[in-house]
Amino acid sequence: MTTELTGLTAQELVDGYRKGEFGPVDATRAVLARIEETQPALNAFTRVDAEGALAAAEASAERWRRGEPQGLVDGVPVTVKDILLQRGVPTLRGSRTVRAEGRWDEDAPSVARLREHGAVFVGRTTTPEFGWKGVTDSPLTGVTRNPYDTSRTAGGSSGGSAAAVAVGAGPLSLGTDGGGSVRIPASFCGIFGLKPTYGRVPLYPASAFGTLSHVGPMTRDAADAALMMDVISGPDPRDWSGLGPVPGSFRDGLDEGVRGLRVAFSPSLGGQVAVRADVAAAVRKAVTRLAELGAYVEEVDPDFTDPVEAFHVLWFSGAARVVQQLSPAQRELLDPGLKEVCAQGARYSALDYLAAVDARMALGRRMGVFHSTYDLLVTPTVPLTAFEAGVEVPRGSGLRRWTGWTPFTYPFNLTQQPAATVPVGLDSTGLPIGLQLVAARHADPLVLRAAHALYASGAAGVSGP
């Protein structure tokens, strides 16, 4: 039973609670045992609260016994990236510069919504320092590893969350995505990850990286992500840039399929990206399945040049802002790579920043026009599979920063569009491959619907590690 429970989705757990087949305490104990089993090898958690989780599970079990569940995910084990505030525990953000002492008496909006719906918080997942890069290692917590091959990275910056979901250490996790930080590790670890439209999931405190940073679900499949979005997408007055209430449910229309949808398939963004052969083949095979399911698929590119320079100005400036108040002694404690990008970010002028904003707006306009013709854009999520753990870029690649190997993800943080990654196979060494689905701003349900169609058809999903 223990092994079986850690393999269930959140919806399957809730269905089991409702039928009385098992309870929240059973599920929580199974997840805690799975964490204890996998943590030494993966290092996916920075904190585990077994006592608190079991107490919350007992309270949930009593509500289910009364037939009065508190919400949509009552009793479901959930993990939270150690970037988001969670009441009662420190949010250290992967940094030795953050003091654990303090009141820590506030939840981030997404955490608050999960708490209101009865979720069982089992632990905090690892992040690189302040979530600054596309892999997960930090001076505070060390290296987080891939569950498919522990010599490889889990990706980042939500790498702990991706690894946790992949091994059954809770079916739902909250991640953040400022340049791919949900989608990159989800792709590397073979799970589903959604970066919603900016503002759809409220964020507080506001990110120093500004409106690049999104909060999103990391789950076993698209249906669980839709369920989680129903919980976390409500407005919160603390987020001045948040969107209004969602009409209906993200689960509405999830089974409608892709027949008639106009899908643009861009395998390499017009030849700008060198994609490994096994990644390209797996993505193309899944796109073929979309066509077999009734989508009108055309191989076409969105026709934009790599916006990496604009992204660097915005991202590195944000990093400089994060550490602006640190003393010289504290700065010596930072990840060396983070110190480099902060120094670069501090050199940009206000005019540099505004020029990057102009480039961002131009890209947003281009993608808005593109989606007046195409419902969805499909690309690989990452042009490669997981590489060596503990390094920012693959050895021998000649790349300098993590953005060099993530050209499919960060453009859509600039444009604030919804984008998801779906696992569509394994490479020749047994590492997961991800396909990215992108839609126009506010078309999150369409992304979820297409992803769910791939899962339902058997084209998505990989065997567990």
* Torsion over CA: 384, 389, 395, 397 (sign): positive
Decide: 73 and 170 in contact? Cβ < 8 Å. Answer: no
Q: One of 158, 173, 181, 187 is an active-site residue; which one?
A: 181
Q: Identify residue 57 by its one-letter amino acid code.
A: A
Cis check for the bond before 205: say yes or no (omega within 30 of 0).
yes
Our answer to whether residue 157 is catalytic in this structure is: yes
Which is it for the CA torsion 425, 40, 121, 197, positive or negative? negative
249 belongs to the catalytic site: no
Q: Report DSSP state, residue 246.
A: P
Strand (E) or helix (H) holding 456: helix 444-457
- Token reading at 133: 């890069």
The residue annotated as part of the active site, out of 60, 95, 138, 157, is 157
Q: How far is CA 381 from CA 21, 42, 269, 271, in A?
A: 38, 23, 12, 15
With 0-12 CB in 10 A as exposed, 13-18 as middle and 19+ as buried, what is 87?
A: middle
DSSP 64-108: HHHT---STTTT-EEEEETTS-BTTB---TT-TTS-S-S------
How far is 175 from 181, CA to CA, in rounded Å?
A: 8
How much helix, strand and coil, in percent to the nearest 5, is found in the chain? 40, 15, 45
Q: Nearest-CA neighbor of 43 among 134, 132, 123?
A: 123
- Do residues 129 and 95 lie in contact, with contact meaning Cβ atoms separated by under 8 Å? yes
- The reply to whether 372 belongs to the active site is no
User: Residue 257 has what DSSP assignment?
Assistant: -
Task: List residues bridging with 176 in a β-sheet.
Answer: 215
| DSSP helix/strand/coil, 328 | helix
Q: How far is residue 125's CA from residue 437's CA, in Å, rounded to a whole number?
A: 25
**Which residue in 60, 81, 138, 158 is the catalytic one?**
81
What sign results for the dihedral spanned by CA atoms 182, 184, 188, 191? Answer: positive
Q: What is the dihedral of CA 391, 345, 175, 71, to 10 degrees?
A: 170
Tokens of 299: 């191989």
Q: Are strands 296-299 and 262-265 parallel, antiparallel or unpaired?
A: parallel
CA angle 305, 350, 272 (to 5 degrees): 10
317 and 354 Cβ atoms separated by less than 8 Å: no
Residue 410's Cβ-count burial label (10 Å; 0-12, 13-18, 19+) is: buried
Please identify every residue annotated as catalytic. Answer: 81, 157, 181
